[in-house]
Amino acid sequence: MRYTFSHAHRQQHPVRILCKMLSVHPSGFYAWIKEPFSQRVNEDRRQTKLVNKAWKDSSKVHGYRKI
């Protein structure tokens, strides 16, 4: 949320000032810009897509135990 705010307002104010106001480090902000989602979030999304595909392939019959 803090990084999103900084990103939205970085045209009006310097990033360092925004980060200081929000108590975050500028290097963290730039790392977030480079890759906004962690590897864990990306893996969770990938697995969710696979589970949804398996559920749809089973004609939405099987529950979580069989999938």
**H or E, element range at 2:** helix 2-9
- Model confidence at 37, pLDDT cuts 50, 70, 90, reads confident
Q: What confidence tens digit (pLDDT) does each residue in 8-32 have?
A: 998 999 999 999 999 999 999 998 8
The answer to whether the CB of 2 falls within 8 A of the CB of 9 is: no
Map residue 45 onto helix, strand or coil: helix
pTM over 0.75: no
Distance CA 18, CA 66 (A): 49
Q: Residues with Cβ < 8 Å from 19, sequence gap 6 or more?
A: 6, 25, 26, 28, 29
